[in-house]
Amino acid sequence: MTSIEQLVAPNGVADVETIRAQFPALERVHDGAPVAYFDGPGGTQVPRMVVDLMADYLFNHNANTHWLYPTSAETDQAIEEARRTLCEFLGASAAEEIVFGANTTSLAFHLGRALGRGWSAGDEIVVTELDHHANVAPWRALERERGIVVRSVPFRLEDGTLDLDALAGMLGARTRLVAVGAASNAIGTVNDVARVCAMAREAGALSFVDAVHYVPHNAVDVRALGCDFLACSAYKFYGPHVGILYGKQELLERLDVPKLDPAPDTAPERWELGTQNHEGIVGAAAAVNFLASLAGAEGTRRERLARVYATLHTRGEELLARLWRGLEAIDGVKLYGSRPGAARTPTVAFTMHGRSTGSIASALADRALFVSNGDFYAATVAERYGQAYDGFVRVGCAAYTTEEEVDRLLEAVEAL
């Protein structure tokens, strides 16, 4: 079988058709038309090599960990290799800084419980209005349970960007954590996370970054960002449903994390409650290797990932501009957030005068165009834009999205 690396010229990146050939889901037909998946912000499709490696684990190596027989040892080895892969993917210092869990939401709640045990009533956490509530609710829970004060940084309605001057005014001697999203899952804004983390650090506070919507579109280097914690989910970057938490090793070792006794007392396993999703962990590493394979076999994995992300970012900007211009030209359509050219992902939120977002999404589905609608747990964003009841129609471009699919979508929206 020809590998994808063999289809890529040295120092090049696979073209869209080569990428699409790796995704069996793209063969689906609905009412006589090929399905175009614009629901990537809620979860991307999965390439064949990821599923094959997960199946191989389940068929040939499936076991629980740390026992004295071959399949258990093979499971231990697979998990450790996955840690090393995700460590490299995120730019961490050591594999021990990678924690696996069900998803980012559960990992954020878990981290919140551990951090909260060391804080007192009146201590402060800063969140933002732009975030998915998985990066708000865990900290609001500490407000109720421990008397922590939660402050929220507003965003500007005109361009969907955070008011970092307001953030500066919220930081003080009692600030313990700044929780910020790297990119808005609703309107696509990419935040200046390095600056936010630096502001937190100067105030003597920790930083937590929700990178779920950022990682599919931008390469991550946690050391360059200067964050203390960062979380993402593999199912947003062509993998299975599993979450990943990065944390500085000293913090993962020191924090009083809820866990069973007796249980491993060293990071990262002390953070992983119960039996993990082993096949999902294998699949998360496979998704990283899939992305690296799009740049062929030349260079280190990190170098290949950098080439892939640079190319996909450029393609995403081109698709975004095409999509935005087309929607903007349709009477009755309202777009939200910053225009193309700003720091953002190729994710667009829109509404249409006189039609509910559900009716739009349903009508597009009838045309084999799969989009999502609602507030996507970015409830404050929807509320600030006056869309608390109905939310938005959200269209996201992924590595397998084509110009022809964007044009099909635009034609269908215009027909509505």
Same domain? 73 vs 149: yes
For 1-21, what is the mean pLDDT?
81
DSSP of 196-220: HHHHHHHTT-EEEEE-TTTTTTS--
DSSP of 159-176: T--B-HHHHHHH--TTEE
Same domain? 15 vs 59: no
Total structural domains in the chain? 2
| DSSP β-bridge partners for residue 100 | 244
Same domain? 25 vs 173: no
Query: Does the pLDDT value for residue 1 go beyond 60?
Result: no
The model's pLDDT over 36-73, given as tens digits with 9 standing for 90+, comes to 999 999 999 999 999 999 999 999 999 999 999 999 99
Query: Does the pLDDT value for residue 133 go beyond 70?
Result: yes
pLDDT of residue 43: 98
Same domain? 68 vs 205: yes
The model's pLDDT over 146-189, given as tens digits with 9 standing for 90+, comes to 999 999 999 999 999 999 999 999 999 999 999 999 999 999 99
pTM of the model: 0.96
Domain containing residue 387: 4-46+302-415
The residue among 351, 347, 344 whose CA lies nearest residue 330 is: 351
Same domain? 39 vs 89: no
pLDDT of residue 4: 73
- Answer with the one of 270, 291, 312 that is the final residue of a domain: 291
What residue has token string 């090793």?
A: 249
For 254-283, what is the mean pLDDT?
90
pLDDT of residue 6: 66
Same domain? 318 vs 373: yes
**CATH for 108:** 3.40.640.10
Q: Give the span between the Cα atoms of 343 and 354, in whole angstroms.
A: 31
DSSP of 294-341: TTTTSS-HHHHHHHHHHHHHHHHHHHHHHHHHHHHTSTTEEEESPPBT
- Answer with the one of 272, 291, 310 that is the final residue of a domain: 291
For 384-394, what is the mean pLDDT?
97
Q: Which residue has the higher pLDDT, 3 or 17?
A: 17
The model's pLDDT over 308-346, given as tens digits with 9 standing for 90+, comes to 999 999 999 999 999 999 999 999 999 999 999 999 999
Q: Give the span between the Cα atoms of 139 and 121, in whole angstroms.
A: 13
- Answer with the one of 291, 323, 345 that is the final residue of a domain: 291
Question: What are the angstrom distances between the C-alpha of 196 and each of 163, 199, 231?
Answer: 11, 5, 16
Asked, for residue 370, whether it belongs to a domain, the answer is: yes
pLDDT of residue 2: 65
Q: What is the mean pLDDT of the chain?
A: 96
